[in-house]
Chain A
Amino acid sequence: MSMNLEKEQAPLPTTEAAPTKSSLLTKILYGCMVVTFLAAIYTIFMYAEVEKTMGAVQKIFYMHVPSAWAAFLAFFVTFVFSILFLIKRKRIFDTYAYVSAEIGVVFTLIVLTTGPIWAKSSWNTWWAWEPRLTTTLILFFLFMAYLMVRQMDGPWDKKARLSAVFGIIGFADVPIVFFAIRWWQSKFHPIVFGDGPSQEGGGISDTMLVALLVSIAAFTFLYAYLLHKGVSFENMKIKVSQYKQKLRESLEN
């Protein structure tokens, strides 16, 4: 009994907390994010000219396109880290893949909500079964399913292995869907979403391009910051569960 108590009261092995090591990177990413976001807000609302036919509604473009870009980037990162995990079997790769997929789903959700708001005013409809929209919706469901695989019961390495496999299969689907669907109803909406607000396709003015590029940079930094933070949170979770396990073992013995 006393031995047990002693064991219980023995201090847990203290490990160097992760943030001290990575705090510089966190600060840099945070700083870059804040600066680019402020610059983006300035360029969007002050610098870029107001679009002729759509007016102020078109400003949603600077949020819509960068989040689509960030979502694609996030899913690509998931794909790469899934392959890396299957080859190297290191837990950190799995954590990166998971966090990136989660962020990607959030960005896709932003795309899918800002899109209809914009479409309602420019196309006069909330939704059209147009190639881009369908592809994006399928992408969203794919990575929701990926997160479902994550919710499975069982040891982490099994879950990591299965979700890595699903991540690869799912991402391989994306380019195929994209190209396959291009032929489908392509006459209905000849202008694709990102091609420019001027209904010509690609006709984007210089000031708008600057604003777009700045906001893309801002969203990329946001993504990088979220990824970095998310991974360190996930690592802390893993560490806590390891401590719990240790504690449980020491109580049982």
Chain B
Amino acid sequence: MLKAALTIAQKDLLSELKTKQVLGTMIIFAGLVILVLSFAFDPANNTTKAVIPGAVWIIIVFSGILGLNRSLVSEQRNDTMHGLLVAPMDASSIFLGKFFANFMMIMIVEIVSIPFLFLLFDFEVTGSILYFILVLFIGSFGFIAIGTFLAALASNSKSSEMLLPLLLFPITSPILIGVTQATKIILTNMEKLPNALAWMQLVAAYDVIFFVLCFLLIEYVLEV
């Protein structure tokens, strides 16, 4: 199952590498979000430092939506979804493969855009970088896992681009609440680390529960 999933992920990433369509759009979009934020909050102002932890997640969420929309709609448009479904593998390995590919892409976007955000807003990290990377990891893991699942659900509709954000934001709101709180503590105020760890445990538990739930229910979504 894992092998089939990795094959799908590899296929997605290779075709992305050829066209560079989605990843390029995601990165440019992330840059534009940073630009808009700089209009909204003066980078020279001290209070904007409080905004940065939230801004990190705004970038991830908005550019993530772009990638998630594409990942299954393109399969539907090219009529390759049937090909995937009749291939000798579980529906859950399709989910897993798509999840891996999307996760890789959002990671690349994060690696490129977040240093830029810190650089352009002249933000000095007083906390721990290691913990920050951990928060980014568990946060995007849950967001992308649920997002991939709901993208598969929404891709059945003609207006999936409109439907996906409406489905995704309420369900992932606990993750987003948890990670923004944890990020804020980790980046600015390391004294409250136990608090941040509690939030991170919560998000991790949420990730596990929903990953399993998506894994079990994906069969019903991909059924023809």
On A, residues with C-beta under 8 Å from B are: 86, 138, 141-142, 144-145, 148-149, 152-154, 158, 161-162, 164-166, 168-170, 172-173, 176-177, 180-181, 183-184
CA distance A176 to B209 in the complex (A): 10
Q: Tell me how far the C-beta of B154 lies from the nearest C-beta in chain A, rounded to whole angstroms.
A: 8
Shortest CB–CB separation between residue A97 and chain B, in angstroms? Answer: 14
* B177 interface residue (CB < 8 Å to A): yes
- Cβ-defined contact, B177 with A180, below 8 A: yes
Contacts of B156 in A (CB 8 A): 152, 154, 158, 162
* Measured CA separation A145–B154 after assembly (Å): 11
Cβ of B36 under 8 Å from chain A: no
Q: Interface extent on B, as a size class? A: 20 to 34
* A161 proximity list for chain B (CB < 8 A): 220-221, 223
Known: A144-B166, A180-B202, A183-B198. A165 touches B173 (CB 8 A): no
- Per DSSP, are chain B's interface residues mostly helix, strand or loop, or mixed? helix
Question: What chain A residues lie within 8 Å of B171 (beta carbons)?
Answer: 142, 169-170, 173
**Among B169, B173, B177, B210, residue most surrounded by chain A Cβ atoms (within 10 Å):** B173
Additional A-B contacts beyond A169-B149, A184-B177, A184-B181 (8; CB < 8 A): A142-B171, A145-B170, A148-B163, A149-B157, A165-B220, A169-B171, A172-B213, A180-B206
Q: Tell me what chain A mostly uses at the interface: helix, strand, loop, or mixed.
A: helix
Bound Cα distance from A164 to B146, whole angstroms = 16
Partner of B169, one of A141, A168, A176: A141
Query: Can you spell out 19 A-B residue pairs with CB atoms less than 8 angstroms apart?
Result: A141-B170, A142-B170, A142-B171, A144-B166, A145-B170, A148-B163, A149-B157, A161-B221, A162-B156, A165-B217, A165-B220, A165-B221, A166-B150, A169-B171, A170-B170, A172-B210, A176-B206, A180-B177, A184-B177
Expressed in whole angstroms, the Cα–Cα distance for A158 and B153 within the complex equals 10
